[in-house]
Structure 1
């Protein structure tokens, strides 16, 4: 018997073009809604007649994005938001503007997304730091809670920086950002959060968590295009040096006739960190529309809807089929990593899922299910049916 989805009226599938695929893979990349796609097309059409673009057009959409994202993460000052091309770009800004001393350490979690790992390997090599990689012990049922405890135990007076996601990108483990941030501040360590796999689907209040920076790519749960992202910077980093010395991050850059009267003062706060050519007339309107629709839908509703999709009946059915799901208290509902017994043939399982047009990610000896507000009961039933088929074969 298939599980029943509550509050199915919240489903927004009609606003997307997903054909007949059961796309349960937002943690890989979100589909574009029809309205976000339309915003990109209109942006391309504007470039047909360049002389119609005014100087104000170089700034209006970026300011909209700052204001919208500030609302999403609950901060009052939109000038603390920068527009960046990627998570690695944001991490490079942090690395450039953090004072490191030999003998210090950096704390990360194991199997983080590489964009939040490679930078810190390089920093540790350059400055003689220890990279502390905190691993979970998956032999315990409540490994998520124990993982958080191990992270806290790894932070000490020699910790220069702590960086991790709100949820783990592979299995959805929830990290206790408030407690981790408090301990990092106690020792004077920078606290950096990669929000790519949570912001847009899981409420996050920067005022409560108080990270020194929150870096987000836009192409996953923010439902925007690829090659653009947003970053919040706290007071620790608001007077830093950007990666690029571009003209748009300077004061009075909106006065085009005066650009050759070079200004060496940066625009206020985090705006200095904007990527060069930030005024992308295609990507920015798309991200504006993506953020608007998230606020229209309300991120709390999105998380609740994902919880209803991944309800107890569905989880129990997966358990009866031999697939292990982390305990609810230690995971989010929009990303769930399902452990597969070692005797299971991953390629065979993947083949059956593909045959049934159930699109999810395989990560190691697990599958990652990541639904969103465009999924419905049929998608979840297709997943269960495919798993039943696999067990029968």
Structure 2
């Protein structure tokens, strides 16, 4: 794979290494967004079938992306918090149950679980991050696995940590949760689209993804997968589209209280969104064409030498086997001054993020090794 910068509208003077905050927009996604925005000026061209056609295509493309053989297990959601809320509503909790999350996990995958301590009498267990040192990622995975026990009801974690890209062994975690009958809920926002994810191999109970980062969509729409344990659940909202028979506009007032099969019941209201839905669909189409495996390999190729250079300068970056290639954190030694590095990055028009104690770098297919070497120069 080669640099795909020509498919984006990034100015030459900008070095954008911040996809973990928001992806640069594909020209094709921009074009589709504008075309569909203009359709509202001629609403008479929008027919009943258009409420369902693009939704179906989006679900098929997302199912392909995550190696899911059944697109009826896929839902369209507005946000990660919405997707998590559907899961929370449909898990039968008992007093004394334990829910496991990670240290400094993203808030949208924390607050809903934390609230259950008050409402359901459960206990939230946070697996603390080990000190920044060699073997940190391996030790964090080990601590997580050791925390899962017979009281564990839910493990709700990301595939890679949003702050520094630490990678978690989902296969091993799934095996351990299966042993104790616990639910495995994955926030794939910072991984799905940029690295391989297989529903068939991992078999999570739910996978929740925001759409405006690595899925290349617009802000305000995301995707979710809900497995068999959620097929008969009750969604957090009743809307006209998540009930059976909604395709027949002439019978909408002949109310059908039955939800659509499997995970279609968890679709958000107005999921036909005539602007955001086709934009996200186009973004995922392009990802499937490239393949997440190729994207991950490309990010590895362009970041390998720059990361080695940063390590030689005394900065800590997690070992390759326990971090993503598309998202990694740079930890400073005590004598290094963060503000001076920030100032240099700003002066050079290099865009990264600062999360916790890490400088978060998240390249994508529009970047090159030269971009990352330019970043390295700011750390001398």
Q: How does the TM-score come out when normalised to structure 2?
A: 0.98
Please, which of 332, 337, 340 is the counterpart of residue 340 of structure 1?
332
Matches within 5 A, 1:136-147: 136-147=129-140
**CA distances 1:159-191 after superposition (whole Å, capped 9, x unpaired):** 110010111111111101011111111111111
CA distance in 2, matches of 1:156, 1:174: 21
Matches within 5 A, 1:48-59: 48-59=41-52
Q: Is 1:279 aligned with 2:279?
A: no
**CA distances 1:324-362 after superposition (whole Å, capped 9, x unpaired):** 111111111111111012232222211110100110011
Instruction: Give the deviation of 1:366 after TM superposition.
Output: 1.8
Q: Is 1:193 aligned with 2:193?
A: no
**CA distances 1:102-126 after superposition (whole Å, capped 9, x unpaired):** 0110011111110000010001221
1:51–1:14 CA distance, 2 compared to 1 (3 A): same
1:315–1:373 CA distance, 2 compared to 1 (3 A): same
Question: Does the residue aligned with 2:160 lie in a helix, a strand or coil?
Answer: coil
Question: Does the residue aligned with 1:310 lie in a helix, a strand or coil?
Answer: helix
Name the residue aligned to 2:310.
318
Name the residue aligned to 1:63.
56
Equivalent residues of 2:303, 2:369 under 8 A apart: no
Q: Is 1:16 aligned with 2:3?
A: no
Equivalent residues of 2:155, 2:182 under 8 A apart: yes
Matches within 5 A, 1:375-386: 375-386=367-378
Instruction: Give the deviation of 1:139 after TM superposition.
Output: 4.7
Name the residue aligned to 1:368.
360
CA distance in 1, matches of 2:358, 2:91: 36
Question: Does the residue aligned with 2:6 lie in a helix, a strand or coil?
Answer: helix
CA distance in 2, matches of 1:72, 1:221: 12
Name the residue aligned to 1:391.
none
**CA distances 1:96-147 after superposition (whole Å, capped 9, x unpaired):** 0000000110011111110000010001221111111001212541111111
CA distance in 1, matches of 2:35, 2:187: 31
Matches within 5 A, 1:276-315: 276-311=269-304, 313-315=305-307
Matches within 5 A, 1:23-38: 23-38=16-31
Q: Which runs of 4+ in 1 moved over 3 A?
A: none
Instruction: Give the deviation of 1:299 after TM superposition.
Output: 1.1
Q: Mean alpha-carbon deviation: is it higher for 361-370 or for 29-38?
A: 361-370
CA distance in 2, matches of 1:338, 1:33: 28
Please, which of 190, 203, 206 is the counterpart of residue 210 of structure 1?
203
Name the residue aligned to 2:143.
150
Question: Does the residue aligned with 2:190 lie in a helix, a strand or coil?
Answer: coil
Q: Is 1:43 aligned with 2:36?
A: yes
**CA distances 1:286-343 after superposition (whole Å, capped 9, x unpaired):** 01100100011111110000001111x2222112322211111111111111101223
CA distance in 1, matches of 2:130, 2:284: 37
Please, which of 75, 86, 91 is the counterpart of residue 93 of structure 1?
86
Q: Is 1:253 aligned with 2:246?
A: yes
CA distance in 2, matches of 1:302, 1:150: 30
Question: Does the residue aligned with 1:354 lie in a helix, a strand or coil?
Answer: helix
Root mean square deviation of aligned Cα: 1.1
**CA distances 1:9-32 after superposition (whole Å, capped 9, x unpaired):** x21000001112100011111011
Name the residue aligned to 1:269.
262
Question: Does the residue aligned with 1:55 lie in a helix, a strand or coil?
Answer: coil
Unaligned runs of 5+ in 2: none
* Aligned residue pairs, count: 379
Question: Does the residue aligned with 1:367 lie in a helix, a strand or coil?
Answer: strand
CA distance in 2, matches of 1:364, 1:232: 29
Equivalent residues of 1:346, 1:365 under 8 A apart: no
Unaligned runs of 5+ in 1: 1-6, 389-393
Equivalent residues of 2:132, 2:316 under 8 A apart: no
Please, which of 228, 233, 247 is the counterpart of residue 240 of structure 1?
233
Equivalent residues of 2:16, 2:363 under 8 A apart: yes
